[in-house]
């Protein structure tokens, strides 16, 4: 349990270092839950929980002063709880959202207390022309944001599973059932949001073609994806052939 908690600490720290690595989305639920599944010996469940939580936090990004619930802690604790107790993904949603909200409050406290002090010191060193100390203020800000939050997540896993189980059991059935139904609806909402951004007159026919293959021919997602790859290859080859023919026609006319 202690060794797993240490690995959980490093997983959470990696998620909180997302900005350090250039906003590479390392802290997204799918990545965090998969890594938790790898540590706890159940990658399949980790991926399933991560996909479910990814739909819950679809499109959630901190922008300016707007900070959404901390999905790193919610994803790690939610996946660990599901894998440890053997419950379903809906339980991860029940647990992940309040955990993410509580950890976000602590994160906001750090951003309002410790980070401004470091920023003030960085301004002072900048006026002195001491670039090395300015860099160190930046590194200390990263450490202050990362280590305490990752430590909270790992301690929550180490000490909190029995307490978490009691909290889940204390939640009324109508709340857990409602979240379970919402978990089934959320994928449709996420798909609709993605389709709204991507769909147009040129690609709508392909969307409905994929739906027909799944609904009436009972093809799997992998089969539909393979058919889509073949269609893309055919369209690209025909397009390249058309471009070459037009280029030859232009040369002849010239």
Per residue in 120-175, pLDDT tens?
888 888 888 888 888 888 888 888 888 888 888 888 787 766 666 566 567 677 76
Residue-wise pLDDT for 32-87, tens only, equals: 888 988 988 888 888 888 888 887 777 566 554 456 677 888 888 888 888 887 77
Which residues are CB-neighbours of 59 under 8 A, at least 6 positions away?
Answer: 193
CB 42 within 8 A of CB 33: no
Residue-wise pLDDT for 16-30, tens only, equals: 887 777 667 787 888
Report how far Cα 95 is from the mean position of its chain's Cα atoms: 16
Residue 214's pLDDT band (boundaries 50, 70, 90)?
A: confident
Place of tokens 């609709």: 192
Residue 246's pLDDT band (boundaries 50, 70, 90)?
A: low
3-state secondary structure 202-253: CCHHHHHHHHHHHHHCCCCHHHHHHHHHHHHHHHHHHHHHHHHHHHHHHHHH
The two structure tokens encoding residue 64: 């300016």
CB 176 within 8 A of CB 107: no
CB 39 within 8 A of CB 59: no
Q: How far apart are CA 170 and CA 161, in angstroms?
A: 14
């Amino acid at each position: 349990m202690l060794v797993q908690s240490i690995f959980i600490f490093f997983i959470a720290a990696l998620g909180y270092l997302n900005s350090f690595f250039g906003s590479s989305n390392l802290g997204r639920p799918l990545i965090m839950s998969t890594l938790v599944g790898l540590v706890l010996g159940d990658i399949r469940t980790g991926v399933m929980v991560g996909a479910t939580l990814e739909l819950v936090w679809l499109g959630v990004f901190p922008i300016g002063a707007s900070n959404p619930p901390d999905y790193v802690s919610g994803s790690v604790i939610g996946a660990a709880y599901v894998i440890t107790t053997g419950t379903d993904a809906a339980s991860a949603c029940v647990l992940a959202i309040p955990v993410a909200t509580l950890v976000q409050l602590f994160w906001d406290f750090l951003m309002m207390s410790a980070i401004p002090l470091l920023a003030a010191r960085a301004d002072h060193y900048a006026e002195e022309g001491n670039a090395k100390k300015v860099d160190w203020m930046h590194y200390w800000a990263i450490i202050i944001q990362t280590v305490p939050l990752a430590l909270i997540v790992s301690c929550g896993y180490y000490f909190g599973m029995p307490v978490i189980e009691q909290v889940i059991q204390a939640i009324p059935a109508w709340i857990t059932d409602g979240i379970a139904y919402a978990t089934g609806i959320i994928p449709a909402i996420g798909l609709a949001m993605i389709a709204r951004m991507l769909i147009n007159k040129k690609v709508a026919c392909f969307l409905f073609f994929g739906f027909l293959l799944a609904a009436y021919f009972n093809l799997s997602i992998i089969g539909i994806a393979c058919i889509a790859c073949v269609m893309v290859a055919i369209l690209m080859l025909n397009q390249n052939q058309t471009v070459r023919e037009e280029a030859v026609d232009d040369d002849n006319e010239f």
